[in-house]
Amino acid sequence: MPQYEGQKKLAAIKKLAEGKDAEIGVAWMEGNAMHSMNNERLYPLMSVFKLHVAVALLKDMERRGAAVDTTLNITPEQMRKDTYSPLMKLHPDGRFSITLPQLIRYAIAESDNNAADILIAMAGGIDSVDREIHAMGIKDCHLSETEATMYEAPINSYANWSKPESVVWLLRKLYDGRLLSGEYDRCIKQALAATTTGADKIKAGLSQGMTLAHKTGTGFRMADGTKMADNDAGVVTMPDGRQVAIAILIKDSKMSDADNARLMAEITKIILGDERE
């Protein structure tokens, strides 16, 4: 994409964001060109951090030569009832067996909080996840909270932050094959492609023939009506095979969930504008 086209799109996005009662961070990358708006700010990742968790765990497993296709025996102690967890609904007693790829799929595609915290424990804790991500050369992000600690004190969600360009770099390196290989790479990409959440966000901005592999993140809404975060980040594959990595992070929004989602879809349309013609 020529640089001037990127600047033209940035100007359109800035105009769209004017007057919106929220902090809006956007970044996208096609080829070697990175474009971003409000990248100097720190945005709570919310469930987008599950992408970081899964990549960090799989990277550690690949380094150790541990097989992805393994079965885990989950116990009630690992499953909280007071959280969003499709797995808990399927297994009310909290005791079941599941393969690791299935667990990652629940964490990513279904945004299961219990699945995410089990993966964090397998990775050696959230601090280990943070170190692994930084060791991959992904800067301008910080992870110190689990789903459990964010639920216990929602304000903790702000401690799991990233700049938009950082999320795009993680996606770009992942889809360029620079982070994982073989079964480890397939596992995370299959989960991202299967995501069911956020159909009204980036996905709603695609046109025919485009596909999306992504991870969403939805924050708590505080007593005054402010939503801590509303996020979507992923890789759009064009009909001709070209890929565009996009991250849209909305912080402290006074808008409705529907308005946040609509804004993400409209921003996506602008980013992909030239490719739609």
| Enzyme catalytic residues | 47
Residues forming beta bridges with residue 105, ordered by sequence position: none
Burial class (CB in 10 A: 0-12, 13-18, 19+), 69: exposed
Q: Give how far the C-alpha of residue 273 lies from the chain's centroid of Cα atoms, to the nearest Å.
A: 23
Helix, strand, coil percent content, the chain, rounded in steps of 5: 45, 20, 30
Three-state SS string over 92-150 comes to CCCCEEEEHHHHHHHHHHCCCHHHHHHHHHHCCCHHHHHHHHHHCCCCCEECCCCHHHH
Of 166, 149, 57, 151, give the one whose Cα is nearest residue 104: 57
Q: Which of 123, 252, 193, 75 is nearest to 260 (CA)?
A: 252
Question: What gap in Å lies between CA 5 and CA 48, rounded to an integer?
Answer: 28
- Chain centre to alpha carbon of residue 120: 15
